[in-house]
């Protein structure tokens, strides 16, 4: 007998209804013992194997979760996804992974795809361009749990796993202030390449930058705060080239993320400007590229493994207990000082 025996085949062989066979296989109380026995014997004889996907649908379970990330260009999100997969595979779940190339339209299509695939929950780090806030809320209202990680929507009540972007931006800029003063510049001019306004983290990292300057008695000069159109290396290169052409060269630069900072470093080096002797540079997010550029890039590292694991377990909790309270977990970061910001580190590189 073929292995793809169905409930319908068993029902036909016994001359009973499919629903009776289904109830018997589920050991329901409303099926006579002799009927259950006959069904089980026939199922064994016909080598019946239950379809786990069909069974899960009956239970309204698919054992599938979805992940939506902005991009795969950098190693940042892939490292988080590895931990997400580990957690869910241990629990018998399959993971569908999508990326939106920083497009709100593609992000929405990915979310719709995951919804149509009947995922039991979604982990998402939101795109930089545009907001799908209403759709996030619609998914939650329709019973699909969402947990945000790294980039979260401040306008949606859901689980979130983040770091304190304000605090670590403050520490990063304070380091730039201190190192430039130690190099003999009592009033260093520190530029900030700010992220797009659509990313909530942009405002948090700007506040950290501004408050660090104020703490040390430095002015917040609007001409040194440049809103970037995207958060790519090419954008950092373009913006810094424009600054150099305009003669707007700071003593230090704090980039919204590593790609912007690395792009700026490339422009500075092409312009014959020494890093860090003339301009100190600090990034954020600790990409692998930070360790291969010369000099190596100072950056704020995020606990990517912990972020992935924590977000996955938070979503599991919400799947198993939909009434569980939404909470925000704030993880610790780490400031890695390297040669791009401190000339004393160059010898060790």
Dihedral sign (CA 315, 317, 320, 326):
negative
Please, is 222 exposed, middle or buried when counting C-beta atoms within 10 Å of its C-beta (0-12, 13-18, 19+)? exposed
Cα separation, 147 vs 124, in Å, equals: 6
pLDDT in tens, 71-112: 887 778 988 999 999 999 999 999 999 999 889 999 999 999
Complete domains list, the chain, with CATH: 7-50 (1.10.260.40), 64-163+303-331 (3.40.50.2300), 165-302+335-348 (3.40.50.2300)
Q: Which residue has the higher pLDDT, 7 or 219?
A: 219
Cα separation, 127 vs 139, in Å, equals: 17
pLDDT in tens, 266-317: 999 999 999 999 999 999 988 888 888 999 999 999 999 999 999 999 999 9
Instruction: Compute CA 264 distance to the chain's CA centroid, rounded to the nearest angstrom.
Output: 24
- Percentage of the chain modeled with pLDDT above 70: 95
pLDDT of residue 54: 56
Cα separation, 312 vs 323, in Å, equals: 17
Cβ density class 255-289: b for 16+ within 10 Å, e for less: bbbbbbbbbbbbbbeeeeeebbeebbbbbbbbbeb
Cα separation, 318 vs 311, in Å, equals: 11
């Amino acid at each position: 007998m073929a292995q793809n025996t169905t409930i319908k085949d068993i029902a036909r062989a016994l001359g009973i209804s499919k629903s009776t066979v289904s109830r018997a296989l589920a050991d329901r109380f409303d099926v006579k013992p002799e009927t259950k026995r006959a069904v089980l014997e026939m199922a064994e004889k016909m080598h019946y194997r239950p379809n786990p996907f069909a069974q899960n649908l009956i239970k309204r379970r698919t054992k599938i979760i979805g992940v939506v990330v902005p991009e795969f260009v950098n190693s940042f999100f892939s490292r988080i996804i590895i931990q997400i997969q580990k957690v869910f595979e241990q629990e018998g779940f399959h993971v569908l992974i999508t990326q939106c190339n920083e497009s709100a339209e593609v992000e929405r299509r990915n979310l719709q795809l995951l919804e149509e695939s009947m995922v039991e929950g979604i982990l998402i780090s939101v795109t930089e361009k545009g907001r799908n806030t209403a759709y996030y809320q619609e998914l939650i209202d329709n019973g699909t749990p969402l947990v945000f990680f790294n980039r979260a929507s401040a306008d949606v009540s859901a689980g979130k796993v983040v770091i304190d972007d304000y605090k670590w931006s403050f520490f990063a800029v304070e380091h730039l202030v201190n190192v430039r003063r130690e190099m003999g510049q009592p009033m260093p001019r520190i530029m900030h390449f700010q992220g797009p306004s659509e990313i909530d983290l942009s405002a948090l990292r700007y506040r950290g930058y501004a408050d660090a300057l104020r703490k040390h008695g430095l002015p917040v000069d609007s001409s040194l705060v440049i809103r970037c159109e995207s958060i790519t290396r090419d954008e950092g290169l373009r913006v810094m080239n424009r600054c150099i052409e305009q003669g707007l060269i700071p003593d230090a630069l704090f980039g919204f993320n590593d790609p912007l900072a690395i792009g700026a470093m490339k422009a500075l080096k092409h312009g014959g400007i020494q890093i860090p002797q003339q301009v100190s540079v600090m990034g954020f997010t600790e990409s692998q590229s930070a360790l291969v550029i010369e000099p190596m890039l100072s950056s704020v590292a995020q606990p990517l493994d912990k972020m992935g694991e924590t977000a996955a377990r938070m979503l599991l909790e919400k799947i198993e207990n939909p009434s569980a309270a939404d909470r925000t977990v704030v993880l610790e970061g780490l400031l890695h000082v390297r040669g791009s910001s401190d000339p004393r580190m160059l010898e060790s590189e």
